[in-house]
């Protein structure tokens, strides 16, 4: 139930434009941090999925980084 609610919230965020539109920043990763978090939640459940997603978000948006980093769900 918590996992499904989390996925719904992430999809809403993505449908509204994600970080580029809502926060005026671009993700340095592929897949994007929201997509990565969604996949982690689907694979591991809400708690571990959010933990992995938040760790990923902490590593994102390095202003001097010009290359995309490919980082798949573990």
58-74 residues labelled b (16+ CB within 10 A) or e (exposed): eebeeeeeeeeeeeebe
Between CA 67 and CA 53 the distance in angstroms is 20
Mean pLDDT score, 33-45: 97
Between CA 56 and CA 36 the distance in angstroms is 8
**Residue 3: band (very low, low, confident or very high) from pLDDT cuts 50, 70, 90:** very high
Per-residue pLDDT, 47: 97
Number of folded domains in the chain?
A: 1
The answer to the question of residue 16 being in a domain is no
Q: In which domain, by residue range, is 60 found? A: 1-6+29-74
The answer to the question of residue 22 being in a domain is no
The answer to the question of residue 12 being in a domain is no
**Residue 63: band (very low, low, confident or very high) from pLDDT cuts 50, 70, 90:** low
Between CA 67 and CA 12 the distance in angstroms is 27
């Amino acid at each position: 139930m918590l996992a499904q609610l989390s996925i719904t919230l992430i999809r809403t965020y993505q449908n509204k434009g994600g970080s580029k539109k809502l926060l005026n920043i671009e993700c340095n990763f592929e897949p994007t941090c929201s997509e990565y978090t969604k996949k982690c939640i689907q694979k591991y459940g809400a708690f571990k999925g959010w933990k992995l997603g938040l760790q990923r978000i902490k590593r994102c948006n390095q202003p001097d980084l010009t290359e995309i980093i490919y980082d798949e769900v573990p």
